[in-house]
Amino acid sequence: MTRPKFKKDHIVTSVVAVIINDDREVLLTKRSIPPFQGEWVMPGGKIDLGEPIIKAIEREVMEEVGLQVEVVDLLDVFEHVTPGDENYHFIILYYRCRPLFCDITHNQDEVDEARWVAQQDLAALKMPDGTRFILGKVFLQESQDTP
């Protein structure tokens, strides 16, 4: 059996911050670069070698949107393997986070726009399937937790 070739010789591990504010809005960024260029996603990126997971989340959020966050809990783990010329093997850790403040200053090198989005406005936004799945899971849990 022929083993597929990958761009990296290791699994790339990434973190994504699902940041929910006190108004139950989620922070989304419209990417200006690949991957997901032109789509709405949550802040995140690769964990650097030797970097603790929580520090990676805090760093990525600060780099992309200028926020400090409190990491609340692990929401989900995804594995993503992409065949073809752009072969990557990703493990993506989704963490729920709470912002310590809500003023956004987005990194214009990576992000066209960043904004707080209410649940009812999510359907109108172009986003990857994984993002939509996680947000559906988060807001379902939110509605079950609210009396």
Q: In the chain, where are the structural domains located?
A: 8-142
Q: How far apart are CA 32 and CA 108, in angstroms?
A: 8
State which H helix or E strand residue 30 sits in.
strand 26-31
User: Are 129 and 49 spatial neighbours (Cβ–Cβ below 8 Å)?
Assistant: no
Superfamily of domain 8-142: Nucleoside Triphosphate Pyrophosphohydrolase (3.90.79.10)
Instruction: State pLDDT tens for residues 62-118.
Output: 999 999 999 999 999 998 887 666 677 889 999 999 999 999 999 999 999 999 999
* For residue 2, pLDDT beyond 80: no
